[in-house]
Structure 1
Amino acid sequence: MLACVFLGSAVTFAIFLFMVSLLDGPARVPDAPKEYPIVEILQPKEPTKVIEKAKPVPPKVPPRPQQRPQVAAEPAFEGPGTIAVTPDVPAPSTQLDAFPSAAQGAARPLVRVPPQYPPQAAREGIEGFVVLRYDISATGAVMNAEVIDSEPKRIFDRHALKALRKWKFNPMLDNGGAQVQRNQQVRLDFNLQQ
Protein backbone atom coordinates (compact mmCIF):
# COMPACT_ATOMS: atom_id res chain seq x y z
CA MET A 1 0.00 0.00 0.00
CA LEU A 2 2.82 2.34 0.92
CA ALA A 3 4.51 1.52 -2.38
CA CYS A 4 1.38 2.62 -4.26
CA VAL A 5 1.40 6.00 -2.49
CA PHE A 6 5.07 6.59 -3.39
CA LEU A 7 4.50 5.47 -6.98
CA GLY A 8 1.44 7.78 -7.34
CA SER A 9 3.40 10.71 -5.86
CA ALA A 10 6.31 10.10 -8.25
CA VAL A 11 4.01 10.01 -11.31
CA THR A 12 2.25 13.21 -10.22
CA PHE A 13 5.61 14.95 -9.64
CA ALA A 14 6.81 13.84 -13.09
CA ILE A 15 3.67 15.24 -14.75
CA PHE A 16 4.15 18.60 -13.00
CA LEU A 17 7.78 18.77 -14.18
CA PHE A 18 6.69 18.03 -17.76
CA MET A 19 4.07 20.83 -17.66
CA VAL A 20 6.63 23.33 -16.31
CA SER A 21 9.07 22.39 -19.10
CA LEU A 22 6.36 23.08 -21.67
CA LEU A 23 5.81 26.56 -20.25
CA ASP A 24 9.51 27.42 -19.91
CA GLY A 25 10.35 26.50 -23.51
CA PRO A 26 11.90 29.03 -25.87
CA ALA A 27 9.63 31.97 -26.36
CA ARG A 28 8.58 32.48 -29.93
CA VAL A 29 8.02 35.94 -31.17
CA PRO A 30 5.10 36.09 -33.51
CA ASP A 31 5.86 37.00 -37.06
CA ALA A 32 4.98 40.47 -38.23
CA PRO A 33 1.53 40.46 -39.72
CA LYS A 34 1.40 40.50 -43.45
CA GLU A 35 -0.02 43.62 -44.96
CA TYR A 36 -2.74 43.09 -47.45
CA PRO A 37 -3.74 45.86 -49.83
CA ILE A 38 -7.07 47.51 -49.00
CA VAL A 39 -9.45 47.31 -51.89
CA GLU A 40 -12.53 49.53 -51.97
CA ILE A 41 -15.36 48.54 -54.21
CA LEU A 42 -17.54 51.48 -55.10
CA GLN A 43 -20.92 51.23 -56.71
CA PRO A 44 -21.63 53.88 -59.28
CA LYS A 45 -24.14 56.32 -57.88
CA GLU A 46 -27.28 56.51 -59.90
CA PRO A 47 -29.91 59.08 -59.13
CA THR A 48 -32.81 57.56 -57.27
CA LYS A 49 -36.01 57.70 -59.25
CA VAL A 50 -39.07 58.53 -57.24
CA ILE A 51 -42.30 57.57 -58.89
CA GLU A 52 -45.25 59.44 -57.51
CA LYS A 53 -48.67 58.08 -58.09
CA ALA A 54 -51.48 60.52 -58.29
CA LYS A 55 -53.95 59.89 -55.52
CA PRO A 56 -57.45 59.47 -56.87
CA VAL A 57 -59.74 62.22 -55.75
CA PRO A 58 -62.90 60.74 -54.29
CA PRO A 59 -65.93 62.02 -56.13
CA LYS A 60 -67.99 64.40 -54.12
CA VAL A 61 -71.37 62.93 -53.47
CA PRO A 62 -73.98 65.49 -52.55
CA PRO A 63 -75.95 64.49 -49.47
CA ARG A 64 -79.20 62.89 -50.41
CA PRO A 65 -82.19 64.73 -49.09
CA GLN A 66 -84.30 62.61 -46.82
CA GLN A 67 -87.54 61.85 -48.48
CA ARG A 68 -90.51 60.95 -46.46
CA PRO A 69 -92.49 58.18 -48.02
CA GLN A 70 -95.90 59.28 -49.06
CA VAL A 71 -98.50 56.87 -47.85
CA ALA A 72 -101.68 57.19 -49.75
CA ALA A 73 -104.54 55.24 -48.35
CA GLU A 74 -107.45 54.44 -50.49
CA PRO A 75 -110.62 56.06 -49.33
CA ALA A 76 -112.93 53.86 -47.39
CA PHE A 77 -116.01 52.45 -49.07
CA GLU A 78 -118.37 55.28 -49.81
CA GLY A 79 -121.88 54.29 -49.40
CA PRO A 80 -124.95 56.12 -48.34
CA GLY A 81 -124.35 57.90 -45.06
CA THR A 82 -120.63 57.15 -44.87
CA ILE A 83 -117.75 59.59 -44.95
CA ALA A 84 -114.52 58.84 -46.79
CA VAL A 85 -111.52 59.14 -44.46
CA THR A 86 -107.91 59.20 -45.68
CA PRO A 87 -105.58 58.65 -42.73
CA ASP A 88 -102.54 60.93 -42.43
CA VAL A 89 -99.76 58.52 -41.56
CA PRO A 90 -96.45 60.14 -40.54
CA ALA A 91 -93.25 58.78 -42.04
CA PRO A 92 -91.29 56.38 -39.84
CA SER A 93 -88.55 58.03 -37.86
CA THR A 94 -84.98 57.05 -38.63
CA GLN A 95 -83.57 58.50 -35.42
CA LEU A 96 -82.52 56.22 -32.61
CA ASP A 97 -82.83 57.11 -28.98
CA ALA A 98 -79.60 58.45 -27.58
CA PHE A 99 -80.03 56.30 -24.47
CA PRO A 100 -82.18 53.30 -25.31
CA SER A 101 -81.72 51.90 -21.82
CA ALA A 102 -83.40 54.93 -20.37
CA ALA A 103 -86.78 53.92 -21.71
CA GLN A 104 -89.62 53.25 -19.33
CA GLY A 105 -90.18 49.62 -18.55
CA ALA A 106 -89.06 46.44 -16.89
CA ALA A 107 -85.49 45.43 -16.17
CA ARG A 108 -83.61 43.90 -19.07
CA PRO A 109 -80.73 41.44 -18.63
CA LEU A 110 -77.29 42.76 -19.56
CA VAL A 111 -75.13 39.86 -18.37
CA ARG A 112 -76.38 36.29 -18.05
CA VAL A 113 -73.74 33.90 -16.76
CA PRO A 114 -74.66 30.28 -17.52
CA PRO A 115 -74.44 27.92 -14.55
CA GLN A 116 -71.69 25.33 -14.38
CA TYR A 117 -72.80 21.73 -14.58
CA PRO A 118 -71.93 19.95 -11.32
CA PRO A 119 -69.16 17.42 -12.10
CA GLN A 120 -70.74 14.61 -10.08
CA ALA A 121 -74.11 15.09 -11.81
CA ALA A 122 -72.40 15.08 -15.21
CA ARG A 123 -70.55 11.84 -14.40
CA GLU A 124 -73.76 10.18 -13.28
CA GLY A 125 -75.80 11.55 -16.23
CA ILE A 126 -78.26 13.45 -14.02
CA GLU A 127 -80.38 16.17 -15.65
CA GLY A 128 -82.83 18.56 -14.04
CA PHE A 129 -83.88 22.13 -13.43
CA VAL A 130 -83.93 24.84 -10.75
CA VAL A 131 -86.57 27.57 -10.35
CA LEU A 132 -85.21 30.66 -8.61
CA ARG A 133 -86.85 33.77 -7.16
CA TYR A 134 -84.81 36.98 -6.89
CA ASP A 135 -85.02 40.76 -6.65
CA ILE A 136 -83.24 43.30 -8.87
CA SER A 137 -81.71 46.27 -7.06
CA ALA A 138 -81.75 49.85 -8.34
CA THR A 139 -78.20 49.31 -9.61
CA GLY A 140 -79.19 46.20 -11.59
CA ALA A 141 -77.60 43.64 -9.27
CA VAL A 142 -79.37 40.45 -8.20
CA MET A 143 -80.28 40.28 -4.53
CA ASN A 144 -82.31 37.96 -2.26
CA ALA A 145 -81.91 34.99 -4.60
CA GLU A 146 -83.49 31.77 -3.36
CA VAL A 147 -84.47 28.37 -4.73
CA ILE A 148 -88.21 27.83 -5.06
CA ASP A 149 -88.20 24.42 -6.74
CA SER A 150 -85.65 22.03 -8.14
CA GLU A 151 -85.60 18.56 -9.58
CA PRO A 152 -83.70 16.55 -8.36
CA LYS A 153 -83.56 18.30 -5.01
CA ARG A 154 -80.33 20.10 -3.96
CA ILE A 155 -78.12 18.75 -6.77
CA PHE A 156 -78.11 21.86 -8.99
CA ASP A 157 -79.18 24.48 -6.41
CA ARG A 158 -75.74 25.79 -5.40
CA HIS A 159 -74.50 26.15 -9.00
CA ALA A 160 -77.72 27.84 -10.13
CA LEU A 161 -77.60 30.36 -7.25
CA LYS A 162 -73.93 31.10 -7.91
CA ALA A 163 -74.63 31.82 -11.60
CA LEU A 164 -77.72 33.94 -10.87
CA ARG A 165 -75.82 36.16 -8.43
CA LYS A 166 -73.43 37.09 -11.28
CA TRP A 167 -76.24 38.32 -13.55
CA LYS A 168 -76.59 42.06 -14.20
CA PHE A 169 -79.69 43.94 -15.35
CA ASN A 170 -80.65 47.34 -16.64
CA PRO A 171 -82.91 48.29 -13.74
CA MET A 172 -86.58 49.09 -14.16
CA LEU A 173 -87.12 52.81 -14.66
CA ASP A 174 -90.15 54.59 -13.32
CA ASN A 175 -90.51 58.34 -13.79
CA GLY A 176 -86.84 58.62 -14.77
CA GLY A 177 -85.50 56.86 -11.66
CA ALA A 178 -84.27 53.31 -11.15
CA GLN A 179 -86.57 51.14 -9.08
CA VAL A 180 -86.14 47.86 -7.21
CA GLN A 181 -87.95 45.03 -8.94
CA ARG A 182 -89.12 42.29 -6.60
CA ASN A 183 -90.21 38.65 -6.95
CA GLN A 184 -88.66 37.85 -10.33
CA GLN A 185 -88.47 34.19 -11.30
CA VAL A 186 -86.30 32.22 -13.67
CA ARG A 187 -85.97 28.54 -14.49
CA LEU A 188 -82.50 27.20 -15.24
CA ASP A 189 -82.41 23.85 -17.02
CA PHE A 190 -79.46 21.49 -16.67
CA ASN A 191 -79.20 19.25 -19.75
CA LEU A 192 -76.20 17.19 -20.79
CA GLN A 193 -76.79 17.93 -24.51
CA GLN A 194 -75.99 21.64 -24.00
Structure 2
Amino acid sequence: MTRFLLAVPLSLMAAFSIFSFMAWLVNEDHYAVVETQPPLRFDMLMIEQESDTQRRKRAAPEPPTPLTPPPPQSLASAAAPSLNTSSALDLPEFDFDMSVGDLAITPPSFADLGGSQELVPLYRVPPQYPPAAQRQNLEGYVELSFTIDPEGKVRDIKVLNAEPRNVFDRDAIRALRRWKYQAKIVDGVAVAQTGQRIKLEFSLE
Protein backbone atom coordinates (compact mmCIF):
# COMPACT_ATOMS: atom_id res chain seq x y z
CA MET A 1 0.00 0.00 0.00
CA THR A 2 2.84 2.32 0.80
CA ARG A 3 4.43 1.63 -2.59
CA PHE A 4 1.20 2.52 -4.34
CA LEU A 5 0.96 5.78 -2.51
CA LEU A 6 4.51 6.68 -3.49
CA ALA A 7 4.08 5.64 -7.11
CA VAL A 8 1.04 7.85 -7.75
CA PRO A 9 2.74 11.21 -7.06
CA LEU A 10 5.90 10.10 -8.88
CA SER A 11 3.84 9.17 -11.93
CA LEU A 12 2.09 12.52 -11.85
CA MET A 13 5.40 14.35 -11.61
CA ALA A 14 6.86 12.35 -14.48
CA ALA A 15 3.83 13.01 -16.67
CA PHE A 16 3.96 16.72 -15.88
CA SER A 17 7.63 16.84 -16.68
CA ILE A 18 7.09 15.12 -20.02
CA PHE A 19 4.25 17.44 -21.03
CA SER A 20 6.26 20.47 -19.97
CA PHE A 21 9.22 19.35 -22.06
CA MET A 22 7.01 18.74 -25.09
CA ALA A 23 5.42 22.17 -24.70
CA TRP A 24 8.87 23.70 -24.59
CA LEU A 25 9.85 21.95 -27.77
CA VAL A 26 6.74 23.14 -29.60
CA ASN A 27 7.33 26.74 -28.59
CA GLU A 28 9.49 28.57 -31.24
CA ASP A 29 10.47 31.44 -29.03
CA HIS A 30 13.56 29.72 -27.79
CA TYR A 31 15.08 29.54 -31.28
CA ALA A 32 17.38 32.38 -32.17
CA VAL A 33 16.17 34.33 -35.09
CA VAL A 34 18.78 34.21 -37.77
CA GLU A 35 18.55 37.13 -40.02
CA THR A 36 19.32 36.21 -43.59
CA GLN A 37 21.43 38.85 -45.20
CA PRO A 38 21.05 39.46 -48.88
CA PRO A 39 24.04 38.33 -50.98
CA LEU A 40 26.65 40.89 -51.61
CA ARG A 41 26.69 42.40 -55.06
CA PHE A 42 29.47 44.38 -56.54
CA ASP A 43 30.22 45.61 -60.01
CA MET A 44 33.76 45.65 -61.32
CA LEU A 45 34.56 48.45 -63.66
CA MET A 46 37.67 48.22 -65.79
CA ILE A 47 39.08 51.70 -66.19
CA GLU A 48 41.59 51.80 -68.99
CA GLN A 49 44.29 54.28 -68.37
CA GLU A 50 45.17 56.13 -71.47
CA SER A 51 48.90 56.46 -71.67
CA ASP A 52 50.73 59.38 -73.10
CA THR A 53 52.15 57.24 -75.89
CA GLN A 54 48.64 56.35 -77.09
CA ARG A 55 47.47 59.95 -77.05
CA ARG A 56 50.60 61.08 -78.78
CA LYS A 57 50.16 61.42 -82.50
CA ARG A 58 52.94 60.21 -84.72
CA ALA A 59 54.44 62.85 -86.83
CA ALA A 60 54.72 62.05 -90.50
CA PRO A 61 58.33 61.28 -91.45
CA GLU A 62 60.01 63.90 -93.48
CA PRO A 63 60.72 62.88 -97.09
CA PRO A 64 64.37 61.99 -97.66
CA THR A 65 66.51 64.63 -99.17
CA PRO A 66 67.43 63.63 -102.75
CA LEU A 67 71.11 63.08 -103.21
CA THR A 68 72.76 65.24 -105.77
CA PRO A 69 74.75 63.04 -108.17
CA PRO A 70 78.39 64.03 -108.48
CA PRO A 71 79.38 65.71 -111.71
CA PRO A 72 80.69 63.32 -114.37
CA GLN A 73 84.38 62.90 -114.25
CA SER A 74 86.23 64.09 -117.26
CA LEU A 75 87.87 61.61 -119.52
CA ALA A 76 91.23 63.13 -118.89
CA SER A 77 91.01 62.61 -115.12
CA ALA A 78 89.36 59.18 -115.42
CA ALA A 79 91.91 57.77 -117.82
CA ALA A 80 94.10 55.09 -116.29
CA PRO A 81 97.79 55.91 -116.17
CA SER A 82 99.69 54.35 -118.99
CA LEU A 83 102.25 51.75 -118.19
CA ASN A 84 105.82 52.46 -119.09
CA THR A 85 106.78 49.33 -120.94
CA SER A 86 110.22 50.62 -121.61
CA SER A 87 111.09 50.37 -117.92
CA ALA A 88 109.77 46.82 -117.53
CA LEU A 89 111.79 44.58 -115.28
CA ASP A 90 113.83 41.85 -116.83
CA LEU A 91 112.13 38.68 -115.60
CA PRO A 92 114.03 35.40 -115.63
CA GLU A 93 112.88 32.92 -118.20
CA PHE A 94 111.65 29.54 -116.96
CA ASP A 95 111.85 26.53 -119.18
CA PHE A 96 109.29 23.90 -118.11
CA ASP A 97 109.58 20.41 -119.46
CA MET A 98 105.98 19.29 -120.03
CA SER A 99 106.91 15.80 -121.15
CA VAL A 100 106.53 12.88 -118.78
CA GLY A 101 109.58 10.73 -119.01
CA ASP A 102 110.15 11.86 -122.61
CA LEU A 103 106.84 10.20 -123.49
CA ALA A 104 103.82 11.81 -125.11
CA ILE A 105 100.84 9.65 -125.99
CA THR A 106 98.40 11.05 -128.49
CA PRO A 107 94.77 10.40 -127.65
CA PRO A 108 93.10 7.64 -129.67
CA SER A 109 91.80 8.79 -133.02
CA PHE A 110 88.57 7.45 -134.51
CA ALA A 111 88.83 6.49 -138.15
CA ASP A 112 85.65 6.16 -140.14
CA LEU A 113 86.21 2.65 -141.42
CA GLY A 114 82.52 1.97 -142.01
CA GLY A 115 79.60 1.56 -139.64
CA SER A 116 81.04 3.81 -136.92
CA GLN A 117 79.20 7.05 -137.65
CA GLU A 118 76.69 6.53 -134.82
CA LEU A 119 79.37 5.98 -132.16
CA VAL A 120 79.06 8.38 -129.25
CA PRO A 121 81.54 7.45 -126.49
CA LEU A 122 80.31 8.46 -123.06
CA TYR A 123 83.36 7.25 -121.16
CA ARG A 124 86.77 6.24 -122.46
CA VAL A 125 90.14 5.35 -120.99
CA PRO A 126 93.34 6.11 -122.94
CA PRO A 127 95.52 3.06 -123.60
CA GLN A 128 98.77 2.62 -121.72
CA TYR A 129 101.97 2.85 -123.72
CA PRO A 130 103.86 -0.46 -123.51
CA PRO A 131 107.18 0.01 -121.64
CA ALA A 132 109.06 -2.19 -124.13
CA ALA A 133 107.82 -0.12 -127.07
CA GLN A 134 108.70 3.05 -125.21
CA ARG A 135 112.25 1.92 -124.62
CA GLN A 136 112.62 1.04 -128.31
CA ASN A 137 110.91 4.26 -129.45
CA LEU A 138 108.31 2.29 -131.37
CA GLU A 139 105.16 3.94 -132.70
CA GLY A 140 102.16 2.38 -134.36
CA TYR A 141 98.42 1.81 -134.39
CA VAL A 142 95.79 -0.89 -133.87
CA GLU A 143 92.54 -1.29 -135.81
CA LEU A 144 89.80 -3.04 -133.82
CA SER A 145 86.31 -4.31 -134.52
CA PHE A 146 83.77 -4.66 -131.70
CA THR A 147 80.11 -4.81 -130.77
CA ILE A 148 78.16 -2.43 -128.54
CA ASP A 149 75.54 -4.26 -126.48
CA PRO A 150 72.15 -2.70 -125.53
CA GLU A 151 73.74 -1.37 -122.33
CA GLY A 152 76.43 0.52 -124.23
CA LYS A 153 79.28 -1.81 -123.19
CA VAL A 154 81.96 -3.04 -125.58
CA ARG A 155 81.89 -6.74 -126.47
CA ASP A 156 83.53 -9.10 -128.99
CA ILE A 157 86.74 -7.11 -129.57
CA LYS A 158 88.90 -8.35 -132.45
CA VAL A 159 92.15 -7.05 -133.94
CA LEU A 160 91.78 -6.32 -137.65
CA ASN A 161 95.16 -4.77 -138.32
CA ALA A 162 98.15 -3.64 -136.25
CA GLU A 163 101.47 -2.00 -137.01
CA PRO A 164 103.75 -3.32 -135.69
CA ARG A 165 101.99 -6.57 -134.91
CA ASN A 166 101.64 -7.91 -131.37
CA VAL A 167 103.11 -4.76 -129.80
CA PHE A 168 100.15 -2.52 -128.96
CA ASP A 169 97.36 -5.10 -129.35
CA ARG A 170 96.94 -6.04 -125.68
CA ASP A 171 96.93 -2.45 -124.38
CA ALA A 172 94.50 -1.34 -127.08
CA ILE A 173 92.04 -4.16 -126.29
CA ARG A 174 92.35 -3.56 -122.53
CA ALA A 175 91.54 0.14 -122.93
CA LEU A 176 88.65 -0.35 -125.36
CA ARG A 177 87.01 -2.95 -123.10
CA ARG A 178 86.53 -0.25 -120.42
CA TRP A 179 84.87 2.23 -122.75
CA LYS A 180 81.18 3.12 -122.56
CA TYR A 181 79.08 4.12 -125.57
CA GLN A 182 75.70 5.65 -126.18
CA ALA A 183 73.17 2.87 -126.67
CA LYS A 184 71.28 2.81 -129.95
CA ILE A 185 67.49 3.07 -129.61
CA VAL A 186 65.24 1.61 -132.31
CA ASP A 187 61.46 1.99 -131.84
CA GLY A 188 62.01 2.76 -128.16
CA VAL A 189 64.11 -0.37 -127.56
CA ALA A 190 67.90 -0.48 -127.07
CA VAL A 191 69.58 -2.74 -129.62
CA ALA A 192 73.11 -4.06 -130.10
CA GLN A 193 75.42 -2.41 -132.63
CA THR A 194 77.61 -4.90 -134.43
CA GLY A 195 80.47 -4.37 -136.86
CA GLN A 196 81.87 -1.25 -135.20
CA ARG A 197 85.48 -0.37 -136.02
CA ILE A 198 88.00 1.97 -134.45
CA LYS A 199 91.68 2.86 -134.84
CA LEU A 200 93.89 3.59 -131.84
CA GLU A 201 97.21 5.30 -132.53
CA PHE A 202 100.34 5.15 -130.35
CA SER A 203 102.94 7.84 -130.94
CA LEU A 204 105.89 9.36 -129.09
CA GLU A 205 106.69 13.04 -129.10
The TM-score normalised by the length of structure 1 is 0.45
User: Larger Cα Rg: Structure 1 or Structure 2?
Assistant: 2
Structure with the larger RCO, 1 or 2 (CA within 8 Å, 6+ apart): 2
